[in-house]
Amino acid sequence: MFLKERIQPATLLCIVLCILGLYFILLPELNGSAEVTLPTLSIIIALLGAFGSSIAYVIVRKLSQTEDSSVIILYFPMIATPISIILVWNEFIWPDLHLAIMLIMIGIFTQIGQYGLTKAMQTQEAGRASAFSYVQIVFSIVIGVVYFDEIPAIWTYIGGAFIVAGALVNVFGPRFGRKKLIGS
């Protein structure tokens, strides 16, 4: 809406499939007999995070039309670092070596992700590029299985399949639509 970009049908289908996949991943039991209560504060914080990310996606897309990607990428740690220092000032604990390495890896992979997102926003509409962020759920599941020996429920695999299908629709859907238009 703010970028005046039209959502493509393939992107809309991708979003629907990914949200359906997320539903299956979060589904504890199909019959719903198990009551799951999530802390309200956690839900509010997660929704605020999602809202903040969506605003960031729109701003990155807008800036990527006029600014170099390295400038956009630089501002993330420039703003996040001082804010983080203020937030943990009284509660900071020096990490041990293992934890320090893990935290450094988080920083590195966050920057890699920011670089990829910024480059995607330069070449694609915001809705189409940000729809791929659902695939990170699948990557998290795979990393959990490989590195942390987590055993996902069958619903996680089903949900992951919906998310991957959504991503594939997002990539290949517009191509099939164009071929149909060209062929007719």
- Alpha-carbon torsion (175, 180, 183, 184), positive or negative: negative
> Would you say residue 34 has pLDDT above 60?
no
What is the C-alpha to C-alpha distance for residues 69 and 63, in angstroms, rounded to an integer?
Answer: 9
Average pLDDT score over residue span 125-151: 78
H-helix segments, the chain? 9-26, 40-64, 69-88, 97-123, 126-131, 135-148, 154-183
Say how far apart CA 154 and CA 72 lie, in whole Å.
40
Rounded to the nearest integer, the mean pLDDT of the chain is: 79
Q: What is the pLDDT of residues 162-179, one digit of tens each?
A: 888 888 887 777 665 555
Model pTM above 0.75: no
Residue 157 has pLDDT above 60, yes or no: yes
Question: In the predicted model, what is the mean pLDDT of residues 57-61?
Answer: 80
